[in-house]
């Protein structure tokens, strides 16, 4: 009888484990499993949280919203995103203040195709809580201009256009690994123009994050994970602006097996969000 009970308990344990399907797991930078609560506690002490995402991943968008709501119970927040460009800040402000509705914002601002499903909930939360939401990214036409004609092309812009970009000249370090690896793209013909186009985005996002920080508040910024992975990109430019700034970085990766962080992702961020590669994509 004792053996039968033991066998039944073992079977129940195995069955329970088999049914325990998780969509994500959080790790620290050394590859040790971490908890959502630990991530939240660490973020409470930060000046800026850079929440790196995969733009089409449904789980990361859900977690961004939940994280933001939970952090807002602890501290006042300022929110901002790569997905909104600096020259659309007026429309964002008008929406937050109730001066225009979503349909009017759709027609007057350049919104990503997944805005309504993935980013509107964050903007609406800011509206509800009366938080600022900052359009941090450089207008894409200027990143395209840099890609075609290099950084010097920005010198000819008007004062109004320059107000939507980090102050010139933009510091650029081609030896940063992330930028260096971009030079090999397009069959090895990308040269420095592609990483410079990336750098103008990173520098501008860092500039508007730093410019809009508020005392006793945390700035939570949503960006493609590549813009803050390995403590480069936005992180690097923020530290140029304020060497004492406290930043928590979150990177997103997808793996088939989420129970263990793959070695290539170690030290990618303070916390690495590993999501099952089979989760639903939003577009």
Q: Domain range holding 97?
A: 26-138+200-276
**52/253 Cα distance (integer angstroms):** 9
pLDDT of residue 211 exceeding 50, the answer is yes
Number of domains, the chain: 1
Whether pLDDT at 189 is above 70: no
Residue 17 lies in a domain: no
- 17-26, 36-45, 50-59, 259-268: lowest mean pLDDT where? 17-26
52: nearest Cα among 198, 235, 205, 224: 224
| For residue 169, cis peptide bond before it (omega within 30 degrees of 0) | yes
Q: Are 23 and 59 in contact (CB under 8 A)?
A: yes
Domain presence at residue 154: no
CATH number at residue 64: 3.40.50.11550
Nearest of 266, 182, 190, 196 to residue 231 by alpha carbon: 266
28-45 pLDDT tens trace: 999 999 999 999 999 999
Q: How confident is the model at residue 153 (pLDDT cuts 50, 70, 90)?
A: very high
Q: Is 146 among the domain residues?
A: no
Residue 138, CB half-sphere, CA atoms under 13 Å: how many? 27
Summary mean pLDDT of the chain: 92
Whether residue 168 lies inside any domain: the answer is: no
| Domain assignment present for 247 | yes
Residue 20 — pLDDT band, cuts 50, 70, 90?
confident
Q: Is residue 80 domain-resident?
A: yes
Asked, for residue 191, whether it belongs to a domain, the answer is no
d(CA 230, CA 212): 24
Mean pLDDT, to the nearest integer, of 167-176? 94
Has residue 163 been placed in a domain?
A: no
12-16, 60-64, 230-234: the lowest-pLDDT one: 12-16
Q: What share of the chain is helix, strand, coil (3-state, %, to 5)?
A: 50, 20, 30
Q: Contact 193/148 with Cβ under 8 angstroms?
A: yes
């Amino acid at each position: 009888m004792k053996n039968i009970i033991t066998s039944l308990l073992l079977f129940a344990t195995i069955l329970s484990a088999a049914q325990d399907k998780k969509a994500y797991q959080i790790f620290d930078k050394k590859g040790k499993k971490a908890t959502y609560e630990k991530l939240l506690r660490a973020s409470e002490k930060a000046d800026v949280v850079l929440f790196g995402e995969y733009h089409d991943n449904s789980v990361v968008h859900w977690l961004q919203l939940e994280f933001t709501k939970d952090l807002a119970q602890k501290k006042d927040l300022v929110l901002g995103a790569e997905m909104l460009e600096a020259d659309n800040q007026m429309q964002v402000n008008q929406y937050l203040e109730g001066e225009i509705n979503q349909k009017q914002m759709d027609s007057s601002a350049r919104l990503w195709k997944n805005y309504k499903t993935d980013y509107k909930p964050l903007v609406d939360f800011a509206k509800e809580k009366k938080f600022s939401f900052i359009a941090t990214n450089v207008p894409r036409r200027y990143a395209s201009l840099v890609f075609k004609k290099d950084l010097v092309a920005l010198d000819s812009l008007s004062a109004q256009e320059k107000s939507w970009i980090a102050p010139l000249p933009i510091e650029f370090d081609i030896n940063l690994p992330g930028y260096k690896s971009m030079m090999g793209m397009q069959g090895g013909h990308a040269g420095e123009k592609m990483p410079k186009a990336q750098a103008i985005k990173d520098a501008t996002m860092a500039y508007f994050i730093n410019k809009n920080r508020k005392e006793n508040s945390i700035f939570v910024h949503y960006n493609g994970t590549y813009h803050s992975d390995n403590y480069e990109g936005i992180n690097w430019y923020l530290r140029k602006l304020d060497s004492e700034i406290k930043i928590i970085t979150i990177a997103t990766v997808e793996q088939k097996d989420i129970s263990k962080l793959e070695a290539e992702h170690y030290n990618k961020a303070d916390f690495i969000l590993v999501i099952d590669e089979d989760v639903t994509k939003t577009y």
